[in-house]
Amino acid sequence: MDFEKEISELIIKAIDNTEINKDEIQSYLETPKDKTNGDISLPCFKLSKKLKKSPVQIADDIKNNIKIDNTNIDKIDNINGFLNFYISKRKVVENTINEFNNQKENYGQANIGQGRNVIVEYSSPNIAKPFHIGHLKTTIIGNSLYKIYKYLGFNTISINHLGDYGTQFAKLIVAYQKWGDEYDLSTKPIEKLAELYVRINQLCEEDESVLEECRNTFKKLEDKDPEYIKIWKKFKAYSLIEFNEIYKLLGVHFDSTKGEAFYADKIDEVEELLEKSGKLIESNGARIIDLSSEGIDTPCIIKKANGSSIYATRDLATILYRVRKYDYYKSLYVVGNEQSLYFKQIFAVAKYLGLDKKYINGLEHVGYGMIRLPEGKMSSRKGNFIKVKELLNDAVEKVQNIMEDRDIEDKREIAKQIGIGAIIFDNLKESRIKDQVFDMKEALNFNGETGPYIQYTAVRTKSVLEKAKFNPSKSEVDCSCLTDDSSIDVVKTIARFQNVIVSAMKKNEPSYISRYLIELSKKFSNFYNNNKIICDDPKTQESRLYLTYMTNITLINGLNLLSIEVPEKM
């Protein structure tokens, strides 16, 4: 039962003012910090301007005009202009259990996205470079968003837009031609290519002519020089082997892995369309779009002075391709905050491609903060980065050491689930836009606000159910057994699950789910400590077991939306 919807409808009837609608009222409703002030509150000062009354008077008028008979409300009071609604505890339990029973293992799912296509582009590492922790963030956020949208009924398409084109690969080709004989690529090829990349960048900084040589090499690559194409394909093959090992560990898959190179033969159409728009102009030999009319001071380069394309051109070709292939409702780009200006440019230029406005409106940059080492910013050019494969394996080893004395089968597999889950959760725990300093010790803490803590709570619920030989299909719940404070706290939290998922989707913010799972785990721990679940009274036991079962399913489903597995034991 959506109690906020019911309350907003009651308020609208009581106000009887055409300037205020139900959605507006619902947006004002909040949960009081102090439980003694009810379950849902309306701060009436938000209505003062339209109703031309004091908050206290508004609260009194609404209260006097609401009849709570035959509703889910037990009581309403007015405290200093805050209208507080007290929901019937029994009704909360009944409605939540009924809603849960309708879905059981699929609890929280919805079909609000039915018939709508959503593209989520994420990960997108550059070939011939190690997959470092910066790539980990986009991969984890993007994979969670992919699952969230799919869980809500959207037809979701995951895309790994590989960085497999551009001057950086020309740099590697030049480096390979200069020093390739010094490196044996048959072992640890990505590490050696990374060394070559650092080396050529240092030379480019020292000698402008080498940088110009790299630019000209990319033009030859675009012109399909057979020798350069052969080297480029070799680099890509090495990279995909390493990337796929990491994706397998993270439980990530993609519906498409078309990289930048796929769109290279589609950029001419972009240039033609921009030409027709009258916005494409010459500037110092290059072709650009002036975006000052869009409030953007930096122009967007479409073609370099030497005639080669730039990644912006290929991204515009990508938009054209995806409009035609996917007819998308949304197209999300999970890329770091530092690319914010770039995406403003691209989305502004896309308006001149002659696309329907709905496709332009559907373009969204899902930015995220930078991950830093304790000693500072990472840079692949300088070779200062954490390699993800090493990080994941290190986490697994550390968990295995923690669990060394525990009598558990399949210890390695469980350590893998906990270690990798810990890293995933740590990346999704806070708002995605915040910068983050990665701390392995904190991420692996079994008692903190971490992935292992939530996994442990899920394992605990499963253990209780197994010990009691609980069968949900034969369970009968007496709602009166679940009206104590700690039980009600768990019930109310479970009741919010779908709303949390919808909010996470609307804001493209997986941390809403992470924080929710922490809250549910804490509430269940309090319930577990305050109530003897397996007890002498059969009705009480069955009811508490069913609430434990509901918690178990909700935690598992929530963790799955973050791509975190629940171990059998911990």
User: In this structure, are residues 158 and 124 in contact, taking their beta carbons and an 8 Å threshold?
Assistant: no
Angle subtended at Cα 509 by Cα 504 and Cα 511, rounded to the nearest 5 degrees: 95
What is this structure's pTM?
Answer: 0.89
**pLDDT mean for each 10 residues of the chain (570 residues):** 88 90 93 90 95 95 93 94 95 94 96 97 89 89 98 98 86 93 89 90 93 90 89 89 92 94 91 94 93 94 86 95 98 97 97 96 96 59 66 93 85 95 95 90 91 97 96 91 95 95 98 98 97 95 98 98 95
- Give the separation between CA 500 and CA 518, rounded to whole angstroms: 13
Spatial neighbors of 50 by CB under 8 A, at least 6 apart, are: 17, 19, 20
Q: How many CB atoms lie within 10 A of CB 413?
A: 14
> How do the domains of the chain map onto residue ranges?
3-87, 117-260+327-372
Under 8 Å between Cβ of 252 and 139:
yes
pLDDT number for residue 439: 85
pLDDT (0 to 100) of residue 387 = 79
Q: CA geometry: angle at 497 spanning 496 and 502, to 5°?
A: 100
Task: Could you please state the CATH topology (level 3) that the domain comprising 3-87 is classified under.
Answer: Gyrase A; domain 2 (3.30.1360)
Q: Answer whether 548's CB lies under 8 Å from 390's CB.
A: no
Determine the pLDDT at residue 373: 62
HEC string of 129-190 equals CCCEHHHHHHHHHHHHHHHHHHHCCCEEEEECCCECCCHHHHHHHHHHHHHHHHCCCCCCHH
Q: How far, in Å, CA of 24 to CA of 397, rounded? A: 51
CA triple 67-68-74, angle to 5 deg: 150
- Is there a shared CATH topology between the 3-87 domain and the 117-260+327-372 domain? no
**What does the pLDDT read at residue 230?**
92
What local confidence, expressed as pLDDT, does residue 223 receive?
86
The reported pLDDT for the residue numbered 382 is 47
- CATH fold, domain 117-260+327-372, is Rossmann fold (3.40.50)
How far apart CA 265 and CA 248 sit, in angstroms, is 31
Please answer whether residues 546 and 472 qualify as being in contact, where contact means their C-beta atoms are separated by less than 8 angstroms.
yes
**What are the contacts of 268-274 at 24+ separation with CB within 8 A?**
269/317, 269/320, 270/302, 270/313, 270/316, 270/317, 270/320, 270/353, 271/302, 271/303, 271/313, 273/320, 273/352, 273/353, 273/354, 274/302, 274/349, 274/352, 274/353
- Residue 75's SS3 state is strand
